[in-house]
A and B are shown apart, each in its own frame.
Chain A
Amino acid sequence: MKSFLSRITFWKATAAVFLLGGLATTIVRFGWGLGASTNLSDMTPWGLWIGFDVVTGVGLAAGGFTLAGIVHIFHIKRFHPIVRPAILTAFLGYCLVIVGLMFDLGRPWAIWHALIYQNPHSVLFEVAMCVMTYTAVLALEFSPVVLERFHLHKLLKFVKAITVPLIILGILLSMLHQSSLGSLYLIVPQKMHPYWYSPMLPVLFFVSAVAVGLGMTIVESYLSARAFQKTLETPLLRDLTRIMIGVLLVYFTMRAIDLFHRNAFGFLLDGSFETMMLYLEVAFMLIIPLLLFNLREWGRSRQGLFFTAFSVVLGFITNRLNVTMTSLEGYYKTNFGVSYFPGIGELAVTISIVTVGFVIFALAVKYLPIFPHHEEETVLRFDGAPARTNESASMHATPAAELRRH
């Protein structure tokens, strides 16, 4: 009992509370429906589950296609150790997006309708098809990890033989639906704030997803190092950070040009809530990462790279929630006199979905060959065991000799 209690950490206890909250809401959601478990209404039909679980979640999982493309298509092999953690993140991310969608759909049992009763003119149809097929592709891309673990060599050989076509298909599908998630909001220009409505939304969604996919890989590598001493080398992570910042500079140049052409710069000094949220987005996604990365010591340390990437992830979340929620808040208030804030059930489900992601990622890193194999090493003590007495004649005679073998 004592050893069980000693293994409980703050975060394990917190995760258990979050998961229990999610479980309770799941019962309410599927027992009594959306009305009982959410603050959604006919006027505000898309809330946190779409804004965070789906639109943000798909973007955060973008590291899979980015890294797979860099390594397998462009043959930049030094990034190879990053591909597996990135594909794991992507696979988990997409599975959890689907779980989130099951909560949000009024009739989740009818999700297969998209496959049979196709509406090729709908952006949602494209998103549905791409997410379904890309999740299948990700399962295949991830399968070598499992096949290796269980020594299923014949199957492994087959999957490796089709790796390149799979990667190409994955990149194609990702490009389509990462941008299509932006296209979803092209149909509501009159409802959105000018900061976030743009005909360029599909392109902006795609480019920002590329950046945050890299950021998530860096964050996970750091957290894995903390939990399991399994990580990637710092120079490799720094190169990833450099690429991420390069992509972000391209992204914000495009944003600035877009805002300028749509005369949206005029709002920048209006002091509104929307303006503050735009500043927050730019600060997290561009200013703070640039500052941190250029600080001499921080920009080179593992901790500095973590905070740089974490800031980008925060900025990305702010951006997606700004597009899906902040930009619509003014319209809801003006036209319907309502405002949306997620109910406790919505928050519980979203938090528990993220928690499940962390737990499964941790288990996968612990039990599957996700990160590169770390070489065995011996660790000796390096102290001046008694130097003045006879018993100190040999280090081998002291308990200081060999501490542990990894």
Chain B
Amino acid sequence: MVALFVILFVVLLLGIDLFIQARSKQYPIMAAAPAGQAYTPDRETLRIPKSVFFHPGHTWARLQDGDSLEVGIDDFVQKALGGIDRVLLPNVGEFVRQGDAVITVGHHDKQLTLVAPASGYVRSVNRDAVENPGMVSENPYRDGWLMMIEPAELASNLSVLHVAENAVSWIKEEVKRFREFLNASAAEPALVGEAMFDGGAPMAGVLEQLDDKHVLDFEQQFLR
């Protein structure tokens, strides 16, 4: 009877905690990411980690243990797409060159191809992220990394990447440029929705509202 009492007491405390969390909505404890849809703690913000090197094509690289590079896509592109529900990566052992389009991500009927931020041999890929692409949206710079590269031309590769304050300024410019791009696309309101003309409307997921031609334009102008 004592064991049952203790267990019921602990379960009661957990139940109270779940109730409090659900009411406050500060931490959605019950919110497991639905299939193919991103769990996005905050759709309206962009994260820029200080130690990450950003390629102008919105991929990133981080030095690991001095002899390998962790690679992924940045928060800007996954937010613009409205989440990630599929990921295609090069094979392990393949050589990728900086600037080559080798990473494909998609959300619903939209698909984007992104470039490698650095050259080198693919040593491993993040199978978890491939099988559960929601991880990329949830934390693109940690759990949502995509592949590990053994760098081949690190010094010259790094010279074209943005880091720290430089990366923050660059992302700010990219947000501004993206808004201008959407304004230009908005010459055809049906393509981006009326909300954009109301001012202050969220840009997260706005690519979903563009037609294929404009998505291709976005790819050419922002991801290369």
CB within 8 Å of B: which A282-303 residues: 284, 296-298, 300-301, 303
Most buried by B among A273, A325, A402: A325
- B201 part of interface (Cβ distance < 8 Å): yes
A382 touches B2 (CB 8 A): no
A381 touches B3 (CB 8 A): no
Total count of chain A residues near the partner, CB < 8 A: 57
Binds B, one of A25-33, A98-106, A261-269, A372-380: A372-380
Q: Which residues of A contact B53 (CB under 8 A)?
A: none
Interface flags for A303-320 (1: CB within 8 Å of B; 0: not) read 110000010001001100
CA distance A322 to B34 in the complex (A): 38
CA distance A316 to B56 in the complex (A): 52
Most buried by A among B6, B7, B132: B6
- B60 part of interface (Cβ distance < 8 Å): no
CA distance A76 to B133 in the complex (A): 27
Q: How many pairs of residues, A versus B, come closer than 8 Å at their CB atoms?
A: 150
- B176 part of interface (Cβ distance < 8 Å): yes
CA distance A61 to B47 in the complex (A): 37
Interface flags for A243-263 (1: CB within 8 Å of B; 0: not) read 000000000000000000000
CA distance A326 to B6 in the complex (A): 12
Contact A395 to B2, CB < 8 A, known contacts A376-B50, A384-B203: no
CA distance A273 to B4 in the complex (A): 10
Residue of A nearest to B5 (CB): A341
Residue of B nearest to A404 (CB): B45
CA distance A396 to B169 in the complex (A): 10
CA distance A314 to B8 in the complex (A): 10
A297 touches B34 (CB 8 A): yes
B3 touches A303 (CB 8 A): no
- The distance from the CB of A359 to the nearest CB of chain B, in whole angstroms, is 15
CB within 8 Å of B: which A362-406 residues: 375-389, 392, 394-396, 401-403
B197 touches A387 (CB 8 A): yes
> Would you give 13 A-B contacts (Cβ < 8 Å), ordered by A?
A273-B1, A297-B132, A326-B3, A378-B50, A382-B76, A382-B175, A383-B44, A384-B179, A384-B200, A384-B203, A387-B179, A388-B199, A396-B172
